[in-house]
Every structure is written in C-alpha cells, then in structure tokens.
C-alpha cells in the first residue's frame, strides 16, 4: 500500500497537537483536508488502484479524514477559547483601577452620626440649638449659681452683644450643649427623649488636648417615672453598642450642678482590657461621659410642675470619643483638616 | 488632695489594702487618681499616699478627718475623732476689727507669748512631706498640719511686727502693696480683702501672708488667725492676683464656720505643746452662733422608686447616720438634719445621692427606660445636613470642620471688612477675636494649610454656621481647587483644572437632590469673587447664596499660589425636608426620541439661558429636552460672536414621531432664534 494510514494518523495527531495558534492550525487543515491537501490526493488516487487496494485505502482515508477533522475541531476550540486571554489581548491586571471620586465625612461627623444613630435606635430624636446663648440658658437654669467660677470670663466666652433678656449682661458662646435642654423644656412638655450634638466654646489655649471650640453630644430623657436604674441601663446598652458587648462599665459618683445623683461613666480600657496601660493612665478605665438624674431645680427653672417629672441626662465629648476610638493623641488634627487625614476615614 | 494612709489610719481602721480602699473611695465619688509609694530613705518610707480628686461641692473632704469620715461610712467601720487636749485660754481679748462683716463671717485671734521657734518634730515633718509640703518651722508647720488634718486654714503672724498689735479685716485701698511670703510684691485693689495692722496690709485674706510679719527664728510672740472668709471674694482676689494656695483653695470652696473654735484650739494646743509659750489673748469675733442647720423630709419608699431599687428604713438610717446626718422618724418618713460641714446638701434629692453613693452605684440595679414617642421630631436642620453630607460625599467632596472664630486680619484678607461683625469680649488671642461672618476666612485657612503641605487638589465642603449680631445661620460652603478630577490618573481626567462650571455642577446636583424644581442662577458681584465669574442662586425670589471664582486679591492676600479656587456659600434656611422628599414617578418613554442638533453663531451677550428660553417658547408639545453641547469662538466665527451647539430632543409618549411632524416645529424654533437673537444658523 502506498499509504501507511497508521503512521499518517499519528503524524497528523502530533502536528495538530504541536500547533499553538489558529493560523498554523488553518495551514494544517489545508495541508490535510484542503483542495490540494493530502486527503484530496488520496481520494484522487482511488481510481488508479487495484480492486483489492481500493476498499482498504478508501476505508483508511475515511478514518484518517474523520480523525484529522476531529482533532482540528478540538484544537480549534482550545485555541479559540484561549485567544481572548492570549498574549495579544491580555492586559496588566496589576495596574491600579480607575477609582470613582468618593468623598469623606469628617471623622467628627461620623462619630456624631454613630452616637446619634445609636440613640435614635433606642427611641431618641436628634435636636439642635444655637451656639450664641444667654446666661440664663447656659448657667442659671442649669442650677449653676450666679457666682460660680465657670461663669467667669476665664471659663466662658462672652460676646459684645448685649443680652436682650437681661439688662447689663451680654450674650455668650455656650460652654456646653445643655442650654438646648432648657430651650426644649421651655417649649415642650414631656415625655421626650432627645439627643443634641453641637459645638461648644471655652477659653482654653490650644494644645494637644485642649481647644477653644469642640463638640459635645447631650442626651435628655424626661417622663413621669424615669429612674436612676434606667440611666444605668440605657448608657450600658449604648456603650456596649458603641464599644462592643464585652466592654465593662462603671458609674462613678461625681458632681454636676444640673444633675443629682450625678455620675461619670468609665469603660474598661480597650487597649489593656482593664489591666492598666499608658492610654488609660495605668487605671484600666477610660472616662467617657458625665451623666445623672435631672436636678429638680432645673425642672423648676423651666416651669414644670413640682415633683411631676423625673429625667436623666448625659453628655460626652465628640473629640474625646474619636481620640479614644482611633488612638488619636492630638486634638488639633481635627481642626487642621489636612485632606490626607480626612481621607483616612 | 493628697491622703497619706498612715495619717488616715489614725482616724479609721478600715482593714483594707491600699488598692481595695482606693477602689471603694473612687466608687463613692472620691476618685483616687494615683497611689504613690513614699520613697525609701525618707522618714515616711513604706507609707502610701493617694492623690484624690475632690469634686468642688465637697470641700469637707479636702482634709484627712473629712476623708476618714467618708471611709468610715463607706467601709462601715467606726470613725475615731481625735481627743481635744486641755487648754488654758486667756480671757484677754486681742484687738480685732472687722470692717467688712459680710466678707469675714468669723475671726478667731489668739496671741501666744514666749514661743520658741525651731524645727518641727520628726513625725510632724514626716506627715507634711507626705502631703507634699516643705517643713518651715514648728509654728508654721502646725498651721499647715491642722489645715491638712481638719481642713481649716490658719495663719500665724509675728505679733511684735503687727503695728499697734492690731488686726483689721478690710478691703485694700488703691495703691496699697504687699510683699507676700513667696517674695513677690503685689499691687492690691479695693476688690481684694486683706488683713491689715494699723499701718499697712499684712496678709491677703485667705490666700497668703506677708513677708514683713512672717514667723521667723527670732519671733517671740505670735498671733494665730483662724477665720472664715467669703469664698467668692477669695476666688476673685486669687484670680486677679494670679495667686493661689492651699488656704485659698479651701476658702474658695467654703469652710465650716462652726468648726473654727475646735480648729483654733487644736492648733493652739499643739503650739503650746511643741513650741511652748502661753496664750495671753484670745478673741472669737463676729460669730453668729445661731447658724441654722438645714432639715429635709425624706420618704424611703419614694427614694427607692427614684433610684429603681428596694431600700429599707433601717438601711437608710444607718447610711445617713454614718455620714453624721441626724434622723428623726415622722410617721413613715424621716426628718433629716444635715451636718454643718455638708454645705452641698441643699435639697432632699441630694440625700438620695448620698444613699446611692454609699451603697455604691455599681450595686444599684439596671433597667431599660420605656422611651415613649417624643412630642418632638428630629430637627429638620439636622436631617437636611445629614442629606447634604451624603450628596456631597457622593460627589467626591471631603468634609471639613473649621474654626468658627477668626482674626480681624483673616476677615480683612478675605475682603469681608464690610460685614457686621460679632466680637468676643474676652478673646483668648487676636487670632480668635471675631465670629466668622462667612465661612470664607475659616475655610481659606484650611486651603492654605493644605497648599502648604503640598495638597493642591481640594474638593471640600463644610456644614457650619456664620454669625452676625443678628444671630447665626446654617450654611453650606464648598471649595474646589486644582485638578478637575482629584485622581492624578490620566485615564480618568480630560480637563486639567476645575472651573466655574464644576462648582455649578456640584450645586445643581445638591439642589436637584433637595427637591428644588425652580432655582435661578444670575450673574452677581461680590468683593470676594472675580468680576464676571460670580453668580447668585435665587430661590423663591430670595438670594440664598453666591458662588464663583475667588478674587485674585483674596488669593494673593492668603498667599495661595493658585488663581483657580472656587467657592460657594449657600444658606440652608430655605431648604425643607418636605421639598426634598417630594418625588414623582414619570413613565419611561415607550417610543423613540428624535434628536436634532443646532449650531448657531450668536452675539457674545446671548446667554444660553436666553437661547433655551426662546427655544422652549415655540417648542410645542413634543420638545422634551434642550441639551447644551459646546460653545466656542475662533477663526470661523465673526468678532463679537460665539458659536454654540445644542441638541433638541423631540419625543411623544404615544407614538413614534415622524419627520413631517417635527420639521415644521424645528423650523419655527430656528426662525425664532434668528429673529429674536440675531442668530445665524451654521
């Protein structure tokens, strides 16, 4: 026989297997199956063959054609499926992505949002009030005596603008968010639960831990039967939400003129878990807010009927919360507004 | 307040370790800030000293006895008061004149003759050192010792140096001076209460003695002063002189006027014992013996309810008695008499706190309050700011929070000198003398800081306030500067730097998102903006804000090395939540739109808004949008003209429009533009 079909099949198989691109594969197809290809040549020779050879060669050629067609088809599929990711179309996936512009809320706004949000979940509403205040709202109504040191010009900024309600006195920049309590209570009857974020001012020279303006969040819940145990329960729920379930808390008796009993709230130090480290000053505790039961004198000042209502109030510094939460050790970075800082959060 | 434990142990056997006791004190309201070990080698080695923060309402705890009383109540162990020593007191009075009787509610003076001044005994010195004092001599040390032990400040004068042997309590006269014990000459004023002799001031009352009458090694006769002064006067005098002392600290907070005699006698007994001598004169001046003690009626059940716990009458009685309150049963209630040293107990509710505090807040139960729906809603202003913050962050702007207090210089540099300003009466420094009349000076300070640190591509906003003598206003401020796209990536940027329209785009987005269907932007003039590149935003006929390119002079004043800084300030007063939430559904178009481009040459003064208005006037029912495409000038456009390209979109909700329907309308529009605006169709 002129053709060794076994060998031809093996050779075709090898050539097709070795082929690595569609162009070469097409050349192979032409070589085997094309109009001037091998199989055409074999079929063309059939009439010249002897009667014995003819069926054998015909069978061999058919088998070869089927085999080659199958191999070419398979190879083509492989090459095509890989061609879209093949070297000619591939890109450097390690190049950075083109990011859409995304802005950042100031970290203090984020903390305010987080804290207000936590209390909104507990049924509170957010309220705000003016920064320019009267002595009555900022001090007198909050049971801060007329001669109290915090009213001195050393501790409170006064404006040149006279107080329209109090002859001879001037308006001031509120030194706490508590005057908003007074404004709300003068306007509304309980029950209500409010959370009040805002700027406050004190004449402190700027250094790593002081600023003449900072942010506070104040909370107030007034109803007919609010108890001291409610204060503990509410703030415990809040702190565990903000700092995690495992946070331990303690309520330490303290003094504020506008609450009685009053307390400061400490949480177990998140760095050392209460063992004592440099962040908590070796105490194991971090002071995070002041709180208490609204002093009946405050209710008296806003004209609520004597003995009718009880309430709880609390207040915290936003900068302090942010500093504790993120380990920031200089309060000035919040007001610098370096965009590299803003973009970190 | 420093509390050495050895000294405390004299008065109460608490039986606790230093750490445990510190925790109990802290949890009863006297926070132990630190526990110091007295170093080896010093006399009191081995002793431990608490550093305690005493709250301003508890001056009775600014001494060892007061704290011992607290410890006794907290740990439930008896308090042992020191025994008064027998003392021979002379009947001869000393010469004390009190001019200002309101300012000095009691003055005990006693003269001791033949004292021998020398060093104190070791145990006295040891204790003074433990509380951080330097021993001086036996008499001075005794006054300090008594101050720390029982809380009453006292002062010893060299009696022979008091002119006329007189003590006069009066206000200082203009021009009077005194050299105080610290060697500093101090000029006095008539608001300052002083102790004077016949000729001159010898002490600043309650704060510090004078050097001229100081007890020295040569002193033979002393006059011991044990008095009570008005807390406010002492505080004001201290502040105006920039002077404080252990005495002043206690007088400012108030001393127990009924305790003066006991304190004076304790000190005199110690002086006689340790420095010798005899008491030749004694006088208790200006004391009103009828100091009424305060009484309150309390109801145990009511207190239980208020605290959210269950108290028994026995428990309440025991706690209050341990704090030296006197209780008298009145039916189911108690009449509680407050001890003289507890000036902080001013109402029945203060007694609730005492009970809670001694039981321990940590042992009180927890409950969750029933928060009922409030009569108030979350403030609209807060919600609008919340929304604005989201919109602006979504546009790639970073929020800043700048200082609301600015200097006169910053206001002038920002060309805002004409604004009516709110001045701080007592500014800390000239840098923070005024409330900002605009966000501009505060925000330019932020821009300046960032520029100086190499950050030039700024997209910033602030939700803050501006202030005027009429009050404060909530505003939104925006700054754009530098690259139009904050990323330096060339793939993302086509335009190099921001311009007016970038800022207008941000504002459009804000207004659209806040539901303003109608707002106008008209050219405006303002000192802070470059001429011809400023606009005002008008809503409901009110100008609610301005924006534009910051004037060159302003950027130069601020030394900002860029002319392309854009600023907007919009008042939030006109924004309403209702408006922002009002949205309508419009069916999506089912039939294709037909878009026709128009290219015009028009006079340079023909604004796009005029062109669009003209188009809409004759646009008919199917004109659905006018889109600006391009504006240009160049060789092909005649002088005084500009080329402008825009697209008109025609669409019907009911069917596909045909050329035949649109062409007449489109022609009409072109005609209108040609006639009204003298436009040439290109």
**Who contacts B448 (Cβ-Cβ below 8 Å, separation ≥6)?**
B558, B559, B560
Give the whole-angstrom CA distance, residue B206 versus residue B193.
Answer: 8
Q: Output the average pLDDT for chain A.
A: 90
Q: Which residues of B touch A250 (CB under 8 A)?
A: 27, 361-362
Our CA-based measurement puts residue B555 at a distance from the nearest CA of chain A, in whole angstroms, of: 19
Give the H or E element holding residue B500.
helix B500-513
Helix (H, G, I), strand (E, B) or coil at B516: coil
How many Å apart are CA B157 and CA B216, to the nearest integer? 10
**Which of B27, B306, B369 to probe by mutation at the A interface, max A CB count within 10 Å?**
B369
First and final C-alpha spacing in chain A? 82
Containing A216, the helix (H) or strand (E) segment is: strand A213-223
**Rounded Cα–Cα distance for residues B239 and A288 (Å):** 30
Which of B336, B367, B366 has the alpha carbon at shortest distance from B351?
Answer: B336
- Check B450 against A250: CB less than 8 A apart: no
The answer for residues whose C-beta is within 8 angstroms of residue B94's C-beta and 6 or more apart is: B109, B110, B111, B165, B167, B223, B281, B282, B283
**Is it true that the peptide bond before A261 is cis, omega within 30 degrees of 0?**
yes
The confidence score (pLDDT) of residue B485 equals: 64
Question: Which residues of chain B have a CB within 8 Å of the CB of A334?
Answer: 401
Q: H-type helices in B514-643, by residue range? A: 552-557, 577-581, 608-618
Chain B residues with beta carbon closer than 8 angstroms to that of A158: 424-426
Residues A152-177: what's their mean pLDDT? 92
Residue position matching structure tokens 């025994």? B83
pLDDT for residue A244 is more than 90: no
**What is the per-residue pLDDT for A12?**
86
Measured in angstroms, the CA of A140 and the nearest CA of chain B are apart by 16
Of B33, B428, B446, the CB nearest to A337: B446
Angle at CA of residue B673, ends B669 and B676, nearest 5°? 125
pLDDT at B488: 53
How far is Cα B7 from Cα A336, in angstroms, rounded to an integer? 50
Using DSSP's 3-state secondary structure scheme, residue B580 falls into helix
Alpha-carbon distance B336 to B354, whole Å?
Answer: 12
Percentage of residues of chain B with pLDDT beyond 70 = 97
In sequence order, which ranges of B175-331 are alpha helices (DSSP H)?
Answer: 231-241, 246-253, 260-275, 300-307, 313-322
Q: Which residue of B has its CA nearest to A204?
A: B428
Which residues of A are less than 8 Å from B231 in CB distance? Answer: 147
Nearest CA of chain A to the CA of B545: how many Å? Answer: 21
pLDDT of residue B42: 65
Asked if B644 and B599 count as a contact pair (C-beta separation under 8 A), the reply is: yes
In this structure, how many other beta carbons lie within 10 angstroms of the beta carbon of residue B630? 10
Question: How far, in Å, CA of B268 to CA of B278, rounded?
Answer: 9
H/E stretch holding B297:
strand B295-299
pLDDT digits (tens, 9 = 90+) for A58-69: 888 888 889 888
- Three-state DSSP state, B218: coil
Q: What pLDDT band is residue A17 in, cutting at 50, 70 and 90?
A: confident
User: How confident is the model at residue A42, as a pLDDT?
Assistant: 86
What are the pLDDT digits (tens) for B153-183?
999 999 999 999 999 999 999 999 999 999 9
Pairwise CA distance, residues A65 & A63, whole Å: 5
C-alpha distances in Å from residue B588, one per residue of A21, B345, B625, B627: 49, 72, 15, 19
What would the pLDDT profile of B312-362 be if each residue is shown by its tens digit? 999 999 999 999 999 999 988 999 999 999 999 999 999 999 999 999 999
Residue B570: strand pairing partners: B476, B545
Cβ distance of B396 and A120 shorter than 8 Å: no
Assess whether pLDDT exceeds 80 at residue A226: yes
**What are the CA-CA distances from residue B584 to residues B275, B517, B580, B587, B650 (Å)?**
95, 12, 12, 10, 22
Question: Strand order in B326-330's β-sheet?
Answer: B295-299, B333-337, B326-330
Nearest to A226 by CA among A302, A141, A300, A291: A291
Quick one: pLDDT band at residue A83, thresholds 50, 70, 90? low
Prior bond to A191 cis, omega within 30? yes
Contact, B283 vs B90, CB < 8 A? no
pLDDT at A87: 57
Average pLDDT over residues A35-43: 86
Sort out which chain A residues have CB atoms less than 8 A from B27's CB and list them.
250, 252-253
pLDDT in tens, B271-282: 999 999 999 999
B253 touches chain A (CB under 8 A): no
Q: Which of residues 23-82 of B touch A (CB under 8 A)?
A: 26-29, 31, 33, 55-58
Take residue B269 and report the two structure tokens written for it: 């007994």
Average pLDDT over residues A157-186: 94
Task: Name B53's bridge partners.
Answer: B31
Smallest CA–CA distance from B355 into chain A, residue: A261
Place of tokens 């020279």: A205
Q: A127 and B376 in contact by Cβ < 8 A?
A: yes
Which residues of chain B fall short of a pLDDT of 50? none
Closest CA to A110 of B390, B312, B103: B390
B423 interaction partners in chain A (CB closer than 8 Å):
159-160
Which chain A residues have a beta carbon less than 8 Å from that of B453? Answer: 338, 340
B274: left (phi over 0), alpha (psi -120 to 50) or beta: alpha
- Torsion angle of alpha carbons B72, B75, B77, B80, nearest 10°? -20
Domains contained in chain B, CATH given: 2-75 (3.30.56.10), 95-285 (3.50.40.10), 295-361 (3.30.56.10), 380-581 (3.30.930.10), 594-681 (3.30.70.380)
The per-residue pLDDT for range B41-77, each reduced to its tens digit, is 666 667 899 999 999 999 999 999 999 999 999 999 9
The ipTM is 0.88
How confident is the model at residue B81, as a pLDDT? 84
């Amino acid at each position: 026989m002129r053709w060794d079909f076994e060998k031809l099949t093996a050779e075709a198989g090898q050539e097709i297997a070795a082929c690595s691109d569609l162009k070469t594969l097409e050349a192979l197809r032409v070589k085997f199956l094309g109009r001037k290809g091998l199989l055409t040549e074999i079929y063309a020779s059939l009439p010249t063959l002897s009667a014995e050879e003819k069926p054998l060669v015909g069978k061999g050629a058919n088998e070869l054609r089927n085999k080659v067609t199958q191999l070419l088809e398979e190879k083509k599929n492989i090459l095509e499926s890989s061609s879209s990711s093949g070297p000619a179309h591939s890109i450097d996936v390690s190049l950075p992505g083109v990011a859409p512009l995304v802005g950042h809320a100031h970290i203090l706004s984020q903390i305010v949002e987080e804290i207000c949000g936590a209390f909104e979940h507990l049924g509170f509403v957010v309220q705000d009030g003016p920064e320019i205040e009267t002595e009555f709202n900022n001090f007198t109504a909050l049971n801060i005596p007329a001669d109290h040191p915090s009213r001195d010009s050393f501790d409170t900024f006064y404006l040149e603008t006279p107080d329209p309600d109090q002859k001879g006195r001037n308006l001031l920049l509120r030194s706490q968010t508590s005057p908003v309590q007074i404004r709300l209570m003068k306007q509304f009857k309980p029950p209500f639960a409010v959370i009040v974020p805002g700027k406050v001012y004190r004449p402190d020279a700027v250094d790593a831990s002081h600023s003449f303006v900072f942010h506070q969040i104040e909370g107030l819940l007034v109803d007919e039967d609010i108890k001291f145990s409610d204060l503990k329960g509410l703030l415990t729920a809040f702190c565990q939400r903000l700092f995690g379930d495992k946070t331990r808390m303690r309520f330490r008796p303290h003094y504020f003129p506008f609450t009685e009993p009053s307390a400061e709230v400490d949480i177990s130090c998140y760095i050392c878990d209460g063992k004592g480290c440099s962040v908590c000053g070796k105490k194991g505790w971090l002071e995070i807010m002041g709180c208490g039961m609204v002093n009946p004198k405050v209710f008296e000042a806003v004209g609520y009927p004597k003995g009718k209502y009880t309430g709880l109030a609390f207040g915290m510094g936003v900068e302090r919360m942010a500093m504790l939460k993120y380990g920031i050790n200089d309060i000035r970075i919040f007001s610098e507004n370096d965009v590299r800082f803003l973009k970190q959060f | 307040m420093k509390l050495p434990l050895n000294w405390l142990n004299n008065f109460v056997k608490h039986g606790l370790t230093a750490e445990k006791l510190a925790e109990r004190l802290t949890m009863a309201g006297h926070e132990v800030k630190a526990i110091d070990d007295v170093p080896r080698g010093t006399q009191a080695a081995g002793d431990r000293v608490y550093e305690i923060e005493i709250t301003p309402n508890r001056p009775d705890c600014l001494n060892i006895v007061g704290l011992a009383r607290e410890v006794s109540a907290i740990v439930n162990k008896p308090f042992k008061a020191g025994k008064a020593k027998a003392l021979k007191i002379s009947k001869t009075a000393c010469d004390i004149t009190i001019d200002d009787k309101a300012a000095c509610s009691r003055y005990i003076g006693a003269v001791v003759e033949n004292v021998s001044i020398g060093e104190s005994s070791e145990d006295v010195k040891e204790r003074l050192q433990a509380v951080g004092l330097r021993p001086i001599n036996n008499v001075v040390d005794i006054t300090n010792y008594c101050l720390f032990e029982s809380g009453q400040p006292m002062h010893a004068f060299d009696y022979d140096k008091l002119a006329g042997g007189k003590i006069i309590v009066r206000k200082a006269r203009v021009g009077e001076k005194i050299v105080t014990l610290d060697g500093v000459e101090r000029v006095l004023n008539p608001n300052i209460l002083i102790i004077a002799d016949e000729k001159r001031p010898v002490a600043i009352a309650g704060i510090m003695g004078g050097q001229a009458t100081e007890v020295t090694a040569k002193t033979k006769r002393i006059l011991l002063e044990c008095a009570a002064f008005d807390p406010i006067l002492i505080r004001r005098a201290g502040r105006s002189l920039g002077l404080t002392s252990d005495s002043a600290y206690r007088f400012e907070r108030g001393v127990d006027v009924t305790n003066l005699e006991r304190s004076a006698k304790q000190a005199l007994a110690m002086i006689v014992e340790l420095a010798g001598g005899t008491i030749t004169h004694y006088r208790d001046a200006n004391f009103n013996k009828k100091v009424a003690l305060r009484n309150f009626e309390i109801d145990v059940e009511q207190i239980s309810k208020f605290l959210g716990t269950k108290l028994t009458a026995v428990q309440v009685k025991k706690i209050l008695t341990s704090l030296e309150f006197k209780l008298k049963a009145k039916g189911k209630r108690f009449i509680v008499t407050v001890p003289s040293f507890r000036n902080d107990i001013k109402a029945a509710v203060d007694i609730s706190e005492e009970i809670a505090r001694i039981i321990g807040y940590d042992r009180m139960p927890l409950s969750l309050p029933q928060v009922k729906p409030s009569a108030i809603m979350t403030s609209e202003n807060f919600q609008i700011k919340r929304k604005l913050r989201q919109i602006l962050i979504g546009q790639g702007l970073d929020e800043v929070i700048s200082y609301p207090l600015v200097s006169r210089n910053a206001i002038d540099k920002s060309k805002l000198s004409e604004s009516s300003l709110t001045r701080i009466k007592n500014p800390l420094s000239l840098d923070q003398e005024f409330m900002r009349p605009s966000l501009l000076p505060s925000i330019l300070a932020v821009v300046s800081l960032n520029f100086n640190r190499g950050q030039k591509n700024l997209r910033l906003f602030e939700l803050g306030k501006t202030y005027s003598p009429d009050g404060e206003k909530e505003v939104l401020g925006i700054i754009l500067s530098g690259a139009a796209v904050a990323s330096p990536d060339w793939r993302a940027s086509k335009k190099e730097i921001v311009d007016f329209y970038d800022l207008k785009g941000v504002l459009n987005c804000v207004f659209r998102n806040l539901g303003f269907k109608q707002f106008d932007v008209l050219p405006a003039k303002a000192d802070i903006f470059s001429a011809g590149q400023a606009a005002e935003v008008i809503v409901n006929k009110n100008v609610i804000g301005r924006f534009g390119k910051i004037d060159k002079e302003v950027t130069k004043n601020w030394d900002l090395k860029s002319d392309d800084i854009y600023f907007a300030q919009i008042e939030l007063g006109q924004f309403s939540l209702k408006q922002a939430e009002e949205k309508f559904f419009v069916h999506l178009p089912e039939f294709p739109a037909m878009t026709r481009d128009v290219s015009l040459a028009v006079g340079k003064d023909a604004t796009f808004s005029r062109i669009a208005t003209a188009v809409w006037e004759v646009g008919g029912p199917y004109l659905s949008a006018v889109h600006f495409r391009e504006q240009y000038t160049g060789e092909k456009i005649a002088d005084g003209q500009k080329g402008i390209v825009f697209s008109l979109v025609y669409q019907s909700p009911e069917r596909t429009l045909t050329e035949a329907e649109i062409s007449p309308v489109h022609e009409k529009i072109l005609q209108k533009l040609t006639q009204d605006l003298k436009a040439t169709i290109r």
